[in-house]
Amino acid sequence: MARAAVSGRLTWRLATVTGSRWETPSVRTLVLDVPDWPGHLPGQHIDLRLTAPDGYRAQRSYSIASSWAGTGPIELTVQRLDDGEVSPYLTDTVEVGDQLELRGPVGGWFVWRETEPAPVLLVAGGSGVVPLMAMIRARGAVRGRQPFRLIYSVRTPADVCYAEELRRRVRDDAGLDVHLLYTRKAPEDSPATPKRIDVATLNTHGWPPDFGASCFVCGPTGFVEAAADILVALGHEPRRIRTERFGGTS
């Protein structure tokens, strides 16, 4: 499986969409059959390339949402950005049977390796949950013993991706904790008031800094910087914090 991260020949291939499902009203998962997929590590991404009839090309990176079981399709989870050039095509136009040009897997730094014994803190802002979900799924598949904590910031309860699956995993696995943070509107029956990621949240629902946890933070640029700064301020070793920015502002 480690070979996936060191493959020297990177070619564009045609993947076929074999399935899809909606995670939220604006987030769609695409199931892709990729010929000769070499496998991937959780956290890695693919580069997708769209070519218009006039030859114009747009390229974007998408984190792989699924963990690799040695065979089968891969999954991408795409958030529709209203002013996006590529995402609306993937969420609103692409159909089962269509083909997409992609290359990968790429990325070897923002990756969780099951041989790492440290506890793991995952901090997700919006669609930043995608690569972190791949890590949760990978841990589940290998029955990893490392305790995982996910702090997942969303705007409203309707924006939680993988809601059902996260509930099931938390229920079935004592080593996984999930804390949801709402920035615009909290659930009706919740005492929580909407707020952005802050010291209190990371302190209460993260790992104590002296546990030496591996921290993965992913989401919009502003979110990632805020969360990473707080983790450092709380005493987490900067070298144990890995970040992936998805662009955007908040």
Instruction: State the residues that interact with another protein by CB under 8 A.
Output: 5-8, 10, 45, 47, 59, 61, 103-104, 106-110, 221, 242-248
Question: CB of 119: closest distance to another protein in angstroms?
Answer: 21
Q: Is the peptide bond before 131 cis (omega within 30 degrees of 0)?
A: no
- Nearer to another protein (CB atom), residue 106 or residue 170: 106
Do strands 74-79 and 148-154 pair parallel, antiparallel, or not at all (unpaired)?
A: unpaired
- Reduced to 3 states, what is the DSSP secondary structure of residue 202? helix
Question: CB of 150: closest distance to another protein in angstroms?
Answer: 20
Question: CB of 37: closest distance to another protein in angstroms?
Answer: 15
Question: CB of 63: closest distance to another protein in angstroms?
Answer: 9
- Nearer to another protein (CB atom), residue 14 or residue 158: 14
* DSSP element (H, E) containing 99: strand 99-106
Task: Name residue 174's beta-bridge partners.
Answer: none
- Residue appearing with tokens 């009839």: 53
* DSSP element (H, E) containing 4: helix 3-6
- Nearer to another protein (CB atom), residue 31 or residue 224: 224
Say if CB 217 and CB 234 are below 8 A apart. no
- Nearer to another protein (CB atom), residue 59 or residue 190: 59
- Nearer to another protein (CB atom), residue 106 or residue 186: 106
- Nearer to another protein (CB atom), residue 51 or residue 59: 59
Q: 230: alpha, beta or left, given left = phi > 0 and alpha = psi -120 to 50?
A: alpha
Task: Name residue 62's beta-bridge partners.
Answer: 46
Question: CB of 161: closest distance to another protein in angstroms?
Answer: 20
Let me know the angle formed at the C-alpha of 73 by 69 and 75, rounded to the nearest 5 degrees. 95
Question: CB of 229: closest distance to another protein in angstroms?
Answer: 12
d(CA 68, CA 183): 32
